[in-house]
Chains A and B, each alone.
Chain A
Amino acid sequence: MDRHTITLAHATDWPGFRRAARALVQAGVPPQEVQWFTAQGAAQDLFASPAPPGSSVDPLPSPAGGAAPRVPEDFLRLCERLVLHRNPVRFALMYRLLWRLVRERGLRHDPLDADRLQAHHMVRAVARDMHKMHAFVRFRPVTDTEGHTVQVAWFEPDHFITEANAGFFVRRFTQMRWAILTPDASVRWDGTALHTGPGGQRSDAPPPDAGEALWLTYYRHIFNPARLKTDMMRKEMPQRYWHNLPEASLITELARGAHERSARMVQAEATTPRKAIAPLIPSHAHASR
């Protein structure tokens, strides 16, 4: 069998994938004859043939006169998100979907197709990760060598979303200097331009500052101990994010004290009012169940 090995420049090399996939479809290469790697992935795979440096695609078949594949606009949008997923099968899945979309007329209208559902679930995971990054990045101020205040955050996303997500922070904090460091990549905004760089380490980001105490006070006091529901909290704010959220350090203590605090409120005698009030105690106000 004529196997093709495609090595993409990096984990989210969407333009490289597009180029290669277009050529492969035009040459009529079926999905089961293509293996996809990224440059980092290939380097770690002892059995992969080494990719020649500088070449993103090896070997690219020359098109056998096939027309350029036409696919629905949403498919491109789907792939732009799918490529950010950490699962290495994403490129094979994208190519298989492309191959099938070109050949199977009904596929674009069938949301229950197994490949489409898998792609959809993966895209959902990426979208959720991006949303959680919008929510859980926490900036802390530092002063740079030129005396500017820069807001710096350390974040650990599940997928390769850091660069794709930078636009959100640019639009929100356009007038601010900031940097977000992650294990895979870093982005830095200097007030006018966005710079991308390699991944970093947690110790590269600043430790808690004094101003953070106000936020902790707020978190402590907006919590209602009479309604402890830690399952709900964990579902929306999974524990793996906690070590980068300053307020999460309070959770154990707040949850432990909650039963006691709410029991105290329930058992406490109603207190004597500060001011006399008219006795308005309608009998029906007592019964709630």
Chain B
Amino acid sequence: MNLQSKLAILADAAKYDASCASSGAAPRDSVGGRGMGSTEGMGICHSYAPDGRCISLLKILLTNFCQYDCLYCVNRVSSNVQRARFTVQEVVQLTLDFYRRNCIEGLFLSSGIIQSPDYTMEQVVEVARVLREEHDFRGYIHLKTIPDASPELMERAGRHADRLSINVELPTPEGLTALAPQKDGAAIARSMARMAVHIEDARQARKEQQAAAQVVSMPATRRTLTRRAAAPHFAPGGQSTQMIVGADATDDRTILATSAGLYGVHRLRRVYYSAFSPIPDAARALPLVAPPTVREHRLYQADWLMRFYGFAHGEIVPAGQGGMLALDMDPKLAWAIAHRERFPVNLNTAPRELLLRVPGFGVLTVDRLLAARRVRRLRHADLARLHVPLQKVLPFVEAADYRPGRALDATDLAARMAPPPAQRKLFD
């Protein structure tokens, strides 16, 4: 099979993984090296597919042969899809070629399980090792790790990769047992915990190293030293995971509780939600309907509320909706409408945490308001100048020259806030 055909099969096989982030790596470049590549902290999306998803990394499977039979997965052993396998050299050459053309930030490599978890993991790690050591590649590498692989292999993966991930796949252990019989939820949790410890240890060690370096730094000679492609890091971009949404009956409240646990216990950098989408050659047990992308979007919004807006996972999903987020309005607006007694919030006196709860305000907006009110009284016109969605914000705030009046009490507030049905694009 030629490279074109393999690439077609193994990109097809990888596209159900939502993550494509290339952020969070330690800054480095190719000055003074043999190879190419740089990361400057911020991720770069080099292209967008017509599904609206960012293409930042070459996201492929090393092989889509797999011994497991996870029902939601296009690569499960019982699927009739065409199979292929890359050699280590082929993945290395593709990565370097796309990188040289400036099409990607690096590689996101995953694999079906062949022979044994250790054998598979070893092949995946070998790709990263060849890129780093033989080609001095300094771009981004994200490796999907296999939970049952040996700790020693995980250690090697972490040395070469900027980010590691293990997919929890389904939000509950029961779901995992039902749909992914060979996967072991406990083993996944153990691996995540082990990675979290490695990441934290390396971060601490590096902090101490930097503190020591400040005492004896010699900036003039630093640049001339050849820096190793692999920094003395362990996955400095942290670890992430993915949950499939809509393949089983788990509600949003449970999903968010699982995420909160992952952020809290294993200090994950990101949890990705992937609306289960129909796959070619699907199993009989799964709902073959259009993917619930609006629900996925609401879960991402709720996830942001937990990470950046001070919301606890338990308060985001309103009572009386069967544990589900509203589809017709964003979760922050839904929360505000359900908690009108907390509003209006006074722009000139409210603390940061209350301002963050105002629908339509982002973190940046809140920080600007806080800075500005030290030198002036905030007025209605100031909001207009900030380009915030006024219709959404105004019922919930008061300013020096503005009060919402009875708008907050109006019974049709929710109806006025939710976009008219004609504008809803559920299926675009």
Out of A112, A153, A229, A288, name the residue touching B276 (CB < 8 Å): A288
Closest Cβ neighbor of B327 among chain A residues: A289
Q: Which segment, of A31-39, A48-56, A69-77, A231-239, faces chain B?
A: A231-239
CB distance from A152 to the nearest CB of B (A): 11
Instruction: Assess whether A175 is in contact with B33, with CB atoms less than 8 Å apart.
Output: yes
A258-279 CB contact bits vs B (8 Å, 1 = yes)?
A: 1000100111101111111110
Task: Give A175 to B286 CA distance when docked, in angstroms.
Answer: 50
Instruction: Assess whether B52 is in contact with A280, with CB atoms less than 8 Å apart.
Output: no
Q: A112-B385, A175-B34 are in contact. Are A219 and B55 (CB under 8 A)?
A: yes
Q: Does A281 contact B (CB under 8 A)?
A: yes
Q: Does B169 contact A (CB under 8 A)?
A: no
Task: Give A118 to B52 CA distance when docked, in angstroms.
Answer: 30
B-chain residues with CB within 8 Å of residue A274 when the two chains form the complex: 77-80
Per the 8 Å Cβ criterion, residues 125-174 of A in contact with B are 131, 134-140, 151, 153, 168, 170-174
Q: A172-B29, A274-B79, A288-B248 are in contact. Are A217 and B8 (CB under 8 A)?
A: yes
Q: Does A222 contact B (CB under 8 A)?
A: yes
Closest Cβ neighbor of A151 among chain B residues: B100
Per the 8 Å Cβ criterion, residues 255-288 of B in contact with A are 275-288
Task: Give A262 to B427 CA distance when docked, in angstroms.
Answer: 12
Task: Give A286 to B3 CA distance when docked, in angstroms.
Answer: 38
Instruction: Assess whether A222 is in contact with B15, with CB atoms less than 8 Å apart.
Output: yes
Per the 8 Å Cβ criterion, residues 179-227 of A in contact with B are 211-215, 217-227
Instruction: Assess whether B52 is in contact with A220, with CB atoms less than 8 Å apart.
Output: no
Task: Give A165 to B301 CA distance when docked, in angstroms.
Answer: 33
Per the 8 Å Cβ criterion, residues 90-147 of A in contact with B are 106, 109-112, 114, 117, 131, 134-140
Instruction: Assess whether B101 is in contact with A139, with CB atoms less than 8 Å apart.
Output: yes
Per the 8 Å Cβ criterion, residues 274-328 of B in contact with A are 275-293
Instruction: Assess whether B78 is in contact with A273, with CB atoms less than 8 Å apart.
Output: yes
Q: Does B36 contact A (CB under 8 A)?
A: yes
Q: Does B58 contact A (CB under 8 A)?
A: yes
Instruction: Assess whether B284 is in contact with A281, with CB atoms less than 8 Å apart.
Output: yes
B-chain residues with CB within 8 Å of residue A112 when the two chains form the complex: 368-369, 372, 376, 378, 382, 385-386
Closest Cβ neighbor of A250 among chain B residues: B50
Q: Does A11 contact B (CB under 8 A)?
A: no
Instruction: Assess whether B36 is in contact with A288, with CB atoms less than 8 Å apart.
Output: no
B57-72 CB contact bits vs A (8 Å, 1 = yes)?
A: 0111000000001010
Instruction: Assess whether A224 is in contact with B51, with CB atoms less than 8 Å apart.
Output: yes
Q: Which segment, of B39-47, B124-132, B189-197, B348-356, faces chain A?
A: B39-47
B-chain residues with CB within 8 Å of residue A65 when the two chains form the complex: none
Closest Cβ neighbor of B376 among chain A residues: A110
Instruction: Assess whether A214 is in contact with B291, with CB atoms less than 8 Å apart.
Output: no
Out of B9, B32, B281, B290, name the residue touching A226 (CB < 8 Å): B290
Out of B249, B278, B386, name the residue touching A265 (CB < 8 Å): B278
CB distance from A109 to the nearest CB of B (A): 5
Instruction: Assess whether B277 is in contact with A172, with CB atoms less than 8 Å apart.
Output: no
Instruction: Assess whether B29 is in contact with A171, with CB atoms less than 8 Å apart.
Output: yes
Q: Which of B51, B54, B71, B94 has the most CB of A within 10 A?
A: B51
Q: Does A27 contact B (CB under 8 A)?
A: no
Q: A171-B29, A236-B45 are in contact. Are A258 and B248 (CB under 8 A)?
A: no
Instruction: Assess whether B290 is in contact with A137, with CB atoms less than 8 Å apart.
Output: no
Closest Cβ neighbor of B386 among chain A residues: A112
CB distance from A151 to the nearest CB of B (A): 7
Q: A136-B46, A229-B52 are in contact. Are A223 and B4 (CB under 8 A)?
A: no
Instruction: Assess whether A222 is in contact with B50, with CB atoms less than 8 Å apart.
Output: no
Instruction: Assess whether B282 is in contact with A265, with CB atoms less than 8 Å apart.
Output: yes
Q: A138-B102, A231-B425 are in contact. Are A223 and B36 (CB under 8 A)?
A: no
Task: Give A136 to B55 CA distance when docked, in angstroms.
Answer: 11
Q: Does A42 contact B (CB under 8 A)?
A: no
Instruction: Assess whether A236 is in contact with B248, with CB atoms less than 8 Å apart.
Output: no
CB distance from B149 to the nearest CB of A (A): 24
CB distance from A15 to the nearest CB of B (A): 26
Q: Does B359 contact A (CB under 8 A)?
A: no
Out of B29, B77, B103, B283, name the residue touching A215 (CB < 8 Å): B103
Q: Does A78 contact B (CB under 8 A)?
A: no
A-chain residues with CB within 8 Å of residue B211 when the two chains form the complex: none
Q: Does A46 contact B (CB under 8 A)?
A: no
Instruction: Assess whether B36 is in contact with A175, with CB atoms less than 8 Å apart.
Output: yes
Q: Does B21 contact A (CB under 8 A)?
A: no
B1-42 CB contact bits vs A (8 Å, 1 = yes)?
A: 001100111011011100000000000011111111110101
Task: Give A109 to B178 CA distance when docked, in angstroms.
Answer: 58
Q: Does A287 contact B (CB under 8 A)?
A: yes
Instruction: Assess whether B51 is in contact with A218, with CB atoms less than 8 Å apart.
Output: no
Residues of chain A touching chain B, judged by Cβ–Cβ distance below 8 Å, are 106, 109-112, 114, 117, 131, 134-140, 151, 153, 168, 170-176, 211-215, 217-233, 236-237, 245, 247, 251, 254-255, 258, 262, 265-268, 270-278, 280-282, 284-289
Q: 5 closest Cβ contacts across the A-B interface?
A: A232-B52, A229-B52, A273-B78, A171-B29, A221-B11
Identify 23 residue pairs between A and B in the complex whose beta-carbon atoms are under 8 Å apart, listed by A's number: A106-B375, A111-B371, A114-B385, A135-B47, A139-B101, A173-B36, A213-B4, A217-B4, A217-B8, A221-B15, A223-B51, A224-B277, A226-B277, A226-B278, A233-B49, A233-B50, A251-B50, A266-B290, A268-B288, A280-B71, A280-B181, A288-B248, A288-B276
